[in-house]
Amino acid sequence: MRTRIPMVLLAIALVSMAVMAQTGGLVAAPARSQDESVSLGYMRTVVNAQKNYKKKYGQYATSLAALVHSGSFTRRMANTDRGVYTVQFHGKPEAYSLVLAPKQFDPDHRAFYVDETGKIRVEEDRAATAESPLLK
């Protein structure tokens, strides 16, 4: 029995490392609603598409349309109306930022910000910025 516990812990650690490696360290963040979960997934998709784009072209995409077919980013994802959220994208060859703001703020619909660092930031009642607290 004693040897089984360390083996189980080792297996859990290996699975966790594999997930982190496949997602580029981007693990699912805590969402308060299905809408937030979808929005956070969209942000992670943009971050991964930008990483792929930069690897291929040596710079970041300057528009969402340029990300189409980069990673799993589709043409439909370039639309800035995401249902209950609105997308604001600012891209330059050396940097980018993405803001998802709900059309109506409430406890289940917060605003999110991410840039080339891949760190997602959050605000409860206003648009998120680079100075907003990190999503935990």
Confidence class for position 13, pLDDT limits 50, 70, 90: very low
The pTM of the full predicted model, rounded to 2 decimals, is 0.78
pLDDT digits (tens, 9 = 90+) for 72-100: 999 999 999 999 999 999 999 999 999 99
How large is the average pLDDT for residues 19-45?
Answer: 76
| Residue boundaries of the structural domains of the chain | 25-123
Angle at 110 (CA atoms; ends 106, 113), nearest 5 degrees: 160
Residue 120: is its pLDDT beyond 80? Answer: yes
Q: CA-to-CA distance for 131 and 126, rounded, in angstroms? A: 12
pLDDT of residue 134: 97
Q: Does 3 have pLDDT greater than 60?
A: no
List the one residue out of 135, 50, 52 whose CA is nearest residue 100: 135
pLDDT at 72: 92
- CATH code of the region 25-123: 3.30.540
Q: CB neighbours of 13 closer than 8 A, spacing ≥ 6?
A: none
The DSSP-derived string for 14-46 is HHHHHHHHHHTT-PPPP-SSHHHHHHHHHHHHH
Average pLDDT over residues 59-75: 95
Backbone angles phi, psi at 98, to 5 degrees: -135, 130
